[in-house]
Amino acid sequence: MRKHFFSCFFVSSLVALSAGCNQPAAPTVATSTTTSSSPATTTADSSSNQTSVSTKDADMTKTAAVTRQKLNAEVDGKALEQFTLTNKNGLRAVVLNLGGILASVETPDRNGKLDNIVCNLGPDNSKFTTNPPYFGVLCGRYGNRIAKGKFTLDGVEYTLATNNGANHLHGGKKAFDKYIWDAEPVQGEGFAGLKLTLVSPDGDEGYPGTLTSVVTYKLTDKNELRIEYAATTDKATPINLTNHAYWNLKGARPESGNVLGHVIRLNCDKFVAVDAESIPTGELTDVTKDSPMDFTKAKAIGADFGKLTNEPQGYDHCWVINGGGNPTKEPVLAAEVKEPATGRVMRVLTTEPGVQFYTGNYLPGTADVGGFAKQGGFCLETQKFPDSPNQPSFPTSILKPGETYRQVTVHEFAVE
């Protein structure tokens, strides 16, 4: 079938890696202080108490815009806020200042019906003050696992929190997902966005150095969600930032069921071999043709579940992206996912070397996870390889003073 982006054209080339190619227009801003707990789909209303930033292309009849809304919750004495990004085609994404959470993304199916495709805790986003599955969060300082919560850097051994059995996961017990980030609506030609900044002090969760991270979400008029990451440090430190959204292209609701019928292709000829605790052995293993780990040709997510031996059954592995791992170049394809019933297509492109494909194996279906049950969503977390600080053969994850960490991940949305 022929694929269409929702503005009636297919994007044939990637957008530029640097945000510098988009020259911001002067925003129109209105401010207020009223608190609300409205659902994530709230949009701008000139009579409402929201902050609004919008931009208009002279050739467009619709505008890309950002609305800002306080929710009825605080974290560490700071107000929880949500920001709704809308492009000229009507696509919407909601991002919270808490943990940079991607709370929802609304895209149309082949019949033009809008639906949210990101798993969340329900329409009241103030519930995100607790978030056991890491729904939509920015993971840091180090997404994924570090073995035994230890690494040695420049001759010094550092000890981190162990919050995943004997290992360190997603930055520790109070990691980047649990902080209110400084948030600034941004705009440029053809996008509405949100710039998030967090300063992590020296010794935070055991990591060395004061790390300043800047993450910018951009919803473009090409129906792309770009996530641009940058960071600097005053002392050498590991860093591995990623977004932990769970996707269900049928519509991210518990009643939609599991994602095992989604069809996925990974642009990956190798994967990172791991032990029973999901810690890398140090080997990058070739994908065996027609094995459960072979997604070089598109197949249903659940096609080979019966051949998997891990418990709980499902995928939670990092694949090596063909041509990936160069942050100075444009993103390359990591994955393409199609949902046959709705016609929705999502392509994920990145400058990172790896993508963690996780099939929601631990979702329990309880109220504290929004009712989502096992395999109710899947994750494609673009990142450095797990445990890289302890794996000298892996691409380095160490950021040094005077350097700037960068990565860009793009989600392209289409229908067919």
Catalytic amino acids? 244, 381
CB 393 within 8 A of CB 150: no
Q: Which of 186, 187, 219, 184 is nearest to 85 (CA)?
A: 219
DSSP-derived 3-state class of residue 206: helix
Residue type, 70: K
Cβ-based neighbour number of residue 161 at 10 Å: 15
Quick one: tokens of 223?
């129906």
Quick one: tokens of 327?
């942050």
Give the separation between CA 376 and CA 360, rounded to whole angstroms.
Answer: 6
Q: Which residues, in sequence order, are CB contacts of 135 under 8 Å at separation 6+?
A: 101, 103, 118, 119, 120, 121, 128, 244, 245, 246, 369, 370
Alpha helices in 24-148 (DSSP H): none
Quick one: tokens of 36?
């609300």
DSSP-derived 3-state class of residue 82: strand
Q: Which residues, in sequence order, are CB contacts of 329 under 8 Å at separation 6+?
A: 17, 351
CB 367 within 8 A of CB 341: no
CB 306 within 8 A of CB 330: no
Coarse DSSP helix, strand, coil percentages of the chain, rounded to the nearest 5 percent: 5, 40, 50
Cβ-based neighbour number of residue 103 at 10 Å: 26
Give the separation between CA 243 and CA 381, rounded to whole angstroms.
Answer: 6
Give the separation between CA 409 and CA 407, rounded to whole angstroms.
Answer: 7
